[in-house]
Structure 1
């Protein structure tokens, strides 16, 4: 058993798919399969249940994964701590976020102030963010959805008002404010389940006693306003974005949404007990100050 085989196992366990794991690791599938088979032989138990080409982590694999995640995260923390102790303050920091639009400006200003720090960004779903954070693959996650996982700490950074966007020429266009009752029967452009816009839409329509009619389901939240402008339906978005120059190029009308809880809560997540490098601390402080600032 060596570190390489443990890292390979970690990625295969996350994907439960040899081809996808091999693609991420940039290794040949047969080589990866042999590595996993040798690891199982060393341990004396199968780690996956195999059904043709499909594999699923079994109870042995799930128990082993928890230990492997912890061990590899500790080793990565040790590397960062030693780098700081040796005076190598340039360092690196990694962040996963559901959308990179939110962090574009803070990252740009951080790099300008700390040109020696390597910043790595990943766009991911809440589930993948929680996994990467638990595995120690990223230092922080920025999410509007609640991330579930053992040992994850968080800090609320921003509560921002959510507005509604409607196509130009829509019956509601030109109004300053709408209520949920005004949206009865309206087709909605939203994200797939698990992303904050969809969670918010489902809750607001349910609380209003209305049916959510999904006209267009997307992965990238910022694409929603493009589809609204194309006339596919109405859509929700942060007020600052719907009124920003970035969104002004799209033909749509932003309206204030008078509905209880029509807001987005942005939280920063980290792994409790993990070593935070000097570079990561500086990045966290910069990001927090940038996002919290009025």
Structure 2
């Protein structure tokens, strides 16, 4: 059994399309078919059901795929670990987050305390969060607990009860309120993030739970959303962690009592991956920082 056979099988199992898979692998369909046929002969059972031009993973194939996927993932993780251990810069940590604005203060504090450790970080939308191969490059991903499959990731909760708030211009009639039910804002214009952000999915969930569709007047990125609120074009939803960001300073925040939908901010790392000393220092610092800076609400709530 050759490694190349396993790689080709995995690609075909995930695509279930001979021609497209062969094209992606830069080989001919007959060559790919021959490789898989030799693998099936070696194992002694068929792995795919073939009906005309269609090819579909059968029960044998599904069992074998789980094993192959695990083996290849372990090998890839080991190669990444060896590469990192033997690189010139061992004091580096690669971090991805679903919203950069949420972690600015804690990241900056870490840089100040540990200048010897280099942090590279990126913001991921939901499509990338769901791309297992893409995510292998990161030591950690920080996002909501529901954004990653927990059977593939180890995790520790950083902020267990990140509660929702309404964000409004200080001149808005709601600005003097301390608490609100979201249904009270059903006639208000809302400024939303564009679809694809984890925070946008949370935004949509809030209205689904509240039982109405919001009047969305703009869909944008984080900076433009803030500008729209500042100019009084609309209001939005964030969380306790979100409103600590500099980009939302100067606005008024109202606690949303209903629906009581919280986010669980979590740090993830791939199962089976050995973390470097630098990575362990970063993980423990982020956890401790947010325990010590667990500010329930700013003064104006």
TM-score (norm 2): 0.66
The SS at the match of 2:93 is strand
Q: Distance in 2 between matches of 1:65 and 1:36?
A: 20
Q: For 1:230-289, what per-residue CA distance to the aligned partner results, in whole angstroms no more than 9, with x for missing partners? A: 33322011235436654235xx43223233524332011222222222222122112222
**Structure 1: gaps of 5 or more residues:** 17-29, 48-56
**What residue in structure 2 maps to residue 163 of structure 1?**
165
Which residue in 2 is equivalent to 1:224? 225
RMSD of aligned alpha carbons: 4.7
Classify 1:212/1:80 alpha carbon distance in 2 versus 1 (closer, same or farther; 3 Å).
same
Closer, same or farther in 2 for the Cα pair 1:135/1:74, shift >3 Å? farther
Residues 47-99 of structure 1 show CA distances to partners (whole Å, capped at 9, x for unaligned) of 9xxxxxxxxx9749998986665445423443465578879782432222111
Mapped to 1, the partners of 2:109 and 2:122 lie a distance apart of 18
Kept in 2, the 8 Å contact 1:69–1:136? The answer is no
Superposed, 1:169-184 pairs within 5 Å as: 169-184=171-186
Aligned match of 2:253: 254
Correspondences of 1:1-294 after superposition (within 5 Å): 33=26, 42-43=35-36, 59=57, 70-79=70-79, 82=82, 90-132=90-132, 136-144=136-144, 146=146, 147-148=148-149, 150-158=151-159, 159-192=161-194, 195-208=197-210, 210-216=211-217, 218=219, 220-221=221-222, 223-239=224-240, 241-242=242-243, 245-248=246-249, 252-294=251-293
Distance 1:112 1:186 in 2: 42
The equivalent of 2:299 in structure 1 is none
Larger radius of gyration: 2
Q: Within 2, Cα distance between the matches of 1:36 and 1:267?
A: 43
Deviations 1:157-207 (A, max 9, x none): 102232111235433233333222321222322235564444444444344
Structure 2 CA distance for partners of 1:160 and 1:222, relative to 1, 3 Å: farther
Counterpart Cα distance in 1 of 2:34 and 2:263: 49
SS in 1 for 2:102: coil
The CA deviation at 1:114 is 4.2
**2: CA distance between counterparts of 1:114 and 1:40?**
53
Decide whether aligned partners of structure 1 residues 108 and 188 sit closer, same or farther in structure 2, where only a CA change above 3 A counts.
Answer: same
CA contact (8 A) 1:163 1:262 kept: no
Tell me, yes or no, if the aligned pair for 2:209 and 2:259 is still in contact at 8 Å: no
TM-score, normalised on structure 1? Answer: 0.67
CA, structure 1 residues 222+263, in 2 after alignment: closer, same or farther (shift >3 Å)?
farther
Range moving further from structure 2, 126-135 or 176-185: 126-135
Judged with a 3 Å threshold, the aligned counterparts in structure 2 of structure 1 residues 134 and 240 are, in CA distance, closer, same or farther, namely closer
Against the structure 1 CA distance between its residues 131 and 244, is the aligned structure 2 distance closer, same or farther, given a 3 Å change threshold? closer
- 1:154–1:109: structure 2 CA closer, same or farther, 3 Å change rule? same
